[in-house]
Amino acid sequence: MLNNLTNFFNLIVGKKIKTIPADSDLIPLGTRDSRYDGSYQPTAIQFKDLASAIGEPSIVLTEGVVDPQVQATMTPVSGTITDAAGVVYSRYRVQGYAQLAGASSYAYLIGVVVGSDNIWRAREDSVVLATDTNIYDTVASAMSRSALVADTSGNLASVLTAFIADDNTISATDEHWFTLVMTAGITFETFVSIDFTIVVPQGTVIEFFN
């Protein structure tokens, strides 16, 4: 059976190709063993065990050149999203953090995504929120948040605004400036975790600068 796994024609004809593996699915391995021809013994591992061993990919955040208070990066996400019209999108995850202190209003650049006029946001990595871009767009409130922040004495207050803006009118339409905007009625300091997903038509090459 293990030898048959290399016969992809039979697997395709027999409709044995899977797009989503089950936890109990087995993946063939070669385990080092000098007693076997080629010095490897055929073995297998369950998908859930392989996924656990690999774990979450590590990311390296880069300090922003424009706003060093923000560190961020962008990484591709496996899988795609297909909208109702049949358009397939690739996904990218923007992650980072911002340290806010000493003011009542902040607008810090997270990063600029370059390479496509059509860069849109996704909710829960599965739903395209909108196929247009407006200055300081907060489509479906997906990028807007409510939060409590503390003043210099430790007193809590609600923020007046807290969202991530997408503006592609600053330089060129294929350059999307993602900015963290946060205001309150007091001078406050807080640590902000940044984590959102964008999508672009499959096959588009984009870059991230901060």
At 99, is the secondary structure helix, strand, or coil? strand
Q: What is the pLDDT of residue 126?
A: 63
Report percent pLDDT > 90 for the chain: 21
CA distance 2 to 9: 15
Which is higher by pLDDT, 41 or 55? 41
Per-residue pLDDT tens for 158-191? 888 888 888 888 889 899 999 998 899 899 988 8
Q: Does residue 114 contact residue 181 with C-beta atoms inside 8 Å?
A: no
| Amino acid sitting at position 1 | M
Query: Maximum distance among all alpha carbons in the chain?
Result: 73
Q: Considering the entire predicted model, what is its pTM?
A: 0.67
Chain position carrying tokens 């196929």: 131
Chain position carrying tokens 């905007």: 181
Kindly report which listed range (8-17, 77-86, 174-183, 194-203) carries the lowest average pLDDT score: 8-17
Per-residue pLDDT tens for 127-156? 665 554 443 344 334 456 677 888 888 888
**Residue ranges in 120-166 assigned as alpha helix (H):** none
Residue 104: both structure tokens together: 């009542």
CA distances from 168 to 82, 155, 174 (A): 24, 37, 7
Residue 185: both structure tokens together: 């009625």
